[in-house]
Amino acid sequence: MSPLLTYGIAGAGLIAIGLYALIVRRHLLRKIIALNVIGNGVFLTLVAAAPRLGAPDPVPHAMVLTGIVVAVSATAFALALAVRVRDATGAAALPPPDGDGASGPGH
Amino acid sequence: MPLLAELPLLPWTVTLPLGGAALSFVLRARAPAVGLAAGVATAAVGLLLALQVATAGLQRHAVGGWGAPLGIDLAADGLSALMVAMTSVVGLWVSLYAGAYFGAGNQDGEHQRAYFWPLWLLLWTALNALFLAADSFNAYVTLELLGLSAVALVALAATPAALGGAMRYLLVGLLGSLLYLLGVGLLYALAGTVDFRLLAAAPLAGPATAVALGVITAGLVLKTALFPFHFWLPPAHASAPAPVSAVLSALVVKASFYLLLRFWFWVLPEAATPVTLNLLGLLGALAVLWGGLRALTAERLKLLVAYSTVAQLGYLFLVFPLALGEADGFTAWGGMTLLLLAHATAKAGMFLSAGAILKGAAHDGVSGIDGAAQAMPVTTFAFALAGVSLIGLPPTGGFAGKWLLLNAALATGQWGWAAVLLAGSLLAAAYTVRVLTHAFTRLPGEPPACVVPGRLEWTAVALAVTALALGLAAGEVLELLRVGAPVVGPVLLEQAR
């Protein structure tokens, strides 16, 4: 098995593990970590899939770098939002999706 | 107009709102004035760009003079010009509305006033940059920028429901854009480019291409809230402040749908199979029915309007079986575009009028708006007119769009989709009338007084009237849409085929 294929399979595996945790785990911190695992799987796949005809291609590396920057800022934002959710609802978990039923004055 | 063709409008449609966002963040005390000025300027440039594309054809600008494949290009064809124009019109009225919405009589008012403007202008930047992106990776960056600013805007409401909705929206949005990035990276590995034009010209085929298109579609469908991935949309859209709900429903979900169109119609039309096209159409049809039913039974007014968005997005997906791979695809293509534009203006008008009505309502349930027609006849009129376009009654833009889609469905012998269009219209009529029945319920005693500033009322009317005018100007819209369109054919098809 070539090393590139190993990287590709590892990337796909990370994406699968992250996706499972994102859906199954309830705690917001775990969901955010799961998203980061998915992100790392995607980055690993992209670097592995970069065509290597002689010199390494810098474009996928630049794409992954941009992706890492986005992932860092998105994670920071998600963590801050998770703290606000815990403060407002008392639990670091998503409220049920359909909070239908009229409530309170205003909007 | 030779002067218009020379104007460098493409970079300004992105830099103006970006500069406005930075300025309104720094000058926090003057954020409403700075933000509104930047919004008006951005809207003007966006509309001029549409005029430029209509008169001078395709536009392209190499940012920093680098050019593809290394640099970042901005490009505008008929569809992107129409999307930017739609953003301009909705953005202009929402900006005027937001100036009066945030503030007086609201304890969180100062906080919301200060942070709404930078976030909203950032969102506008992301929208314009996405519609003008000439390469798929730049589109990824704008997609993330769009998602993050949209989530922050939902969280601005600071209620438990809004924070929960924002969190769910953020998790789904990040997953969607990561899947999209994976697909873009795979396509790069196969074709050696991220530029939409070069990708379209590259000989892409085989299972790896199908996997790439599959993950791109999965990511974007998640972000467009196509049934059954719509679960995150109603809580987020219904709990956000009214101007934010309007922007999310009218514009933000259209951005990921626009990218879907770019990939399926321009980049990889040959990868489409009847099974995948009909699957996308089928999910759209289920969205029309399910969204309509949930809107009919929703207890809260804004949740009703949000479920209506799920239904209306479903119609747009009928373009895949009706236009892709057909010899004369332009009929369905034009119908989808008209419906998209009409929904943007009508739904924004509906959310703005709902927000204005709820400011004076006893509670946020549908029955809480009893007596609204007496207290706020202008806003009730706006809601009704927007509803007329969503139902698809003539002469609105919603009617023109549905008419073209119906024509395409009947002429190509795909009767099932025609039934979906008609059933969806009935459901839309039912949930619109359900709201109006409450609005026209007379309360005992003195008629209640109107409590909201006039600006909250006539901005909603302006948007609803735009949705109506779109039907009258359908010819001009379709003419602009033909610039660089991926499908050809007459506007209306002959029935016998």
pLDDT in tens, A63-100: 999 999 999 999 999 999 999 999 998 888 888 766 55
**Contacting residues of B for A88, CB less than 8 Å apart:** 158-160, 163-164
| B31, containing H or E segment | helix B31-56
Count of pairs with CB atoms under 8 A, one residue in A, one in B: 134
Coil/strand/helix, residue B60: strand
- pLDDT attached to residue B102: 85
Give the closest-approach CA distance of A1 to chain B in angstroms: 19
pLDDT in tens, B391-438: 999 999 999 999 999 999 999 989 999 999 999 999 999 999 999 999
Contact check, Cβ <8 Å, B167/A22: no
Cα distances (Å, whole numbers) of residue B443 to B228, B350, B369, B372, B384? 40, 23, 10, 9, 20
pLDDT for residue B106 is more than 60: no
HSE (CB half, 13 Å, CA atoms) of B88?
22
pLDDT for residue A101 is more than 80: no
B26: region left, alpha or beta (phi > 0 left; psi from -120 to 50 alpha): alpha
Coil/strand/helix, residue B437: helix
pLDDT for residue A107 is more than 70: no
**Contacting residues of B for A103, CB less than 8 Å apart:** 300, 363-364
Contact check, Cβ <8 Å, A15/B241: no
Cα distances (Å, whole numbers) of residue A42 to A8, B5, B130, B184? 9, 42, 22, 11
CA-closest candidate to residue B284, choices B323, B317, B260, B312: B317
Q: Which of A42, A46, A99 has the CB atom closest to B161's CB atom?
A: A99
- pLDDT attached to residue B497: 47
Token readout for B112 is 């919301």
User: CA dihedral defined by B47, B154, B179, B124, rounded to 10 degrees?
Assistant: 20
Reported confidence tier of residue B29, pLDDT bands at 50, 70, 90:
confident
Q: Which of A50, A85, A104 has the CB atom closest to B167's CB atom?
A: A85
**Least confident stretch, B2-6, B57-61, B330-334:** B2-6
CA-closest candidate to residue B268, choices B211, B337, B330, B327: B211
Question: Cis before residue A105, ω within 30 degrees of 0?
Answer: no
Reported confidence tier of residue B233, pLDDT bands at 50, 70, 90:
very high
Distance (Å, whole) CA B409 – CA A87: 51
Q: Does B291 touch chain A (CB under 8 A)?
A: no
B334 falls within a domain? yes
Distance (Å, whole) CA B62 – CA B222: 31
The one-character DSSP state at B195 is B
C-beta of residue B477 within 8 angstroms of C-beta of residue B469:
no
- pLDDT attached to residue B65: 82
- pLDDT attached to residue B279: 96
pLDDT for residue B451 is more than 80: no
- pLDDT attached to residue B105: 53
DSSP-assigned beta bridge partners for residue B195: B135
pLDDT for residue B163 is more than 70: yes
Chain A (59-88) residues lying within 8 Å, Cβ to Cβ, of chain B = 59-60, 63, 66-67, 70, 73-74, 77-78, 81-82, 84-85, 88
- pLDDT attached to residue A103: 46
Q: What's the one-letter identity of residue B81?
A: A
CA-closest candidate to residue B165, choices A61, A81, A55, A68: A81
CA-closest candidate to residue B40, choices B8, B74, B88, B100: B88
Token readout for A40 is 């790392």
B202: region left, alpha or beta (phi > 0 left; psi from -120 to 50 alpha): beta
B491 falls within a domain? yes
**Contacting residues of B for A94, CB less than 8 Å apart:** 164, 167-168, 171
- pLDDT attached to residue B359: 85
Q: Does B299 touch chain A (CB under 8 A)?
A: yes
Coil/strand/helix, residue A105: coil
Q: Which of B164, B170, B366 has the CB atom closest to A78's CB atom?
A: B170
| Phi, psi (degrees; rounded to nearest 5) at B97 | -65, -45
Distance (Å, whole) CA B409 – CA B422: 12
Token readout for B351 is 């959310």
Distance (Å, whole) CA B450 – CA B62: 52
pLDDT for residue A51 is more than 90: no
Give the residue extent of every domain in chain A.
3-89
Q: Does B376 touch chain A (CB under 8 A)?
A: no
Question: CA B39: distance to chain centroid?
Answer: 18
C-beta of residue B204 within 8 angstroms of C-beta of residue B194:
no
B402 falls within a domain? yes
Average pLDDT over residues B227-232: 93
Q: Which of A42, A103, A107 to mutate to test the interface with B (most CBs of B within 10 A)?
A: A107
Question: Cis before residue B447, ω within 30 degrees of 0?
Answer: no
**Contacting residues of A for B163, CB less than 8 Å apart:** 81, 84-85, 88-89
Contact check, Cβ <8 Å, B164/A22: no
Contact check, Cβ <8 Å, A97/B241: no
C-beta of residue A18 within 8 angstroms of C-beta of residue A35:
yes
Name the residue in chain B with its Cα closest to that of A48: B189
Provide the domain limits for residue B344: 289-497
Distance (Å, whole) CA B223 – CA B172: 7
Contact check, Cβ <8 Å, A102/B168: no
Q: Which of B145, B181, B244, B364 to mutate to test the interface with A (most CBs of A within 10 A)?
A: B181
User: CA dihedral defined by B75, B96, B381, B453, rounded to 10 degrees?
Assistant: 170
Give the closest-approach CA distance of A19 to chain B in angstroms: 9
Average pLDDT over residues B188-208: 89
A51: region left, alpha or beta (phi > 0 left; psi from -120 to 50 alpha): beta
Contact check, Cβ <8 Å, B184/A103: no
Give the closest-approach CA distance of B227 to chain A in angstroms: 15
pLDDT for residue B203 is more than 60: yes
pLDDT for residue A61 is more than 90: no
Token readout for A107 is 């909007």
Question: CA B95: distance to chain centroid?
Answer: 16
Q: Which of A15, A45, A106 has the CB atom closest to B185's CB atom?
A: A45
Cα distances (Å, whole numbers) of residue B50 to B9, B481, B491? 10, 10, 21
Distance (Å, whole) CA B433 – CA B185: 48
* Per-position DSSP letters for B111-126, written without gaps between them: HHHHHHHHHHHHHHHH
Distance (Å, whole) CA A84 – CA A91: 10
Contact check, Cβ <8 Å, B148/A77: yes
Question: CA B482: distance to chain centroid?
Answer: 20
pLDDT for residue A43 is more than 70: yes
- pLDDT attached to residue A26: 92
- Looking at mean pLDDT, say which of A8-12, A29-33, B191-195, B452-456 comes out highest: A29-33
DSSP-assigned beta bridge partners for residue B419: none
Q: Residue B417 contacts by C-beta under 8 Å, 6 or more apart in sequence?
A: B281, B285, B318, B321, B322, B405, B409
Chain B (192-251) residues lying within 8 Å, Cβ to Cβ, of chain A = 192, 194, 231-232, 234-235, 239, 241-242
Q: Does B141 touch chain A (CB under 8 A)?
A: yes
pLDDT for residue B496 is more than 60: no
Evaluate if pTM is beyond 0.90: yes
C-beta of residue B132 within 8 angstroms of C-beta of residue B80:
yes
- pLDDT attached to residue B1: 54
B306 falls within a domain? yes
- pLDDT attached to residue A8: 85
**Contacting residues of A for B152, CB less than 8 Å apart:** 77
C-beta of residue B202 within 8 angstroms of C-beta of residue B193:
yes
B211 falls within a domain? no
B173 falls within a domain? no
Average pLDDT over residues B449-457: 84
Rounded mean pLDDT of chain B? 92
Chain B (155-174) residues lying within 8 Å, Cβ to Cβ, of chain A = 155, 157-161, 163-164, 166-168, 170-171, 174
Reported confidence tier of residue A104, pLDDT bands at 50, 70, 90:
very low
Q: Does A29 touch chain B (CB under 8 A)?
A: no
The number of folded domains in chain B is 1
Q: What ipTM does the predicted assembly reach?
A: 0.91
Distance (Å, whole) CA B415 – CA B281: 13
pLDDT for residue B192 is more than 50: yes
**Contacting residues of A for B236, CB less than 8 Å apart:** none
Average pLDDT over residues B33-40: 95
The CATH class of A3-89 is: mainly alpha
pLDDT for residue B250 is more than 70: yes
Distance (Å, whole) CA B332 – CA B319: 6
B295 falls within a domain? yes
Percent of chain B at pLDDT above 70?
A: 97
Average pLDDT over residues B469-489: 94
Question: CA B305: distance to chain centroid?
Answer: 14
Distance (Å, whole) CA B176 – CA B148: 12
Q: What is the biggest distance separating any 2 CA atoms in chain A, rounded to whole angstroms? A: 67
Token readout for B91 is 């953005």
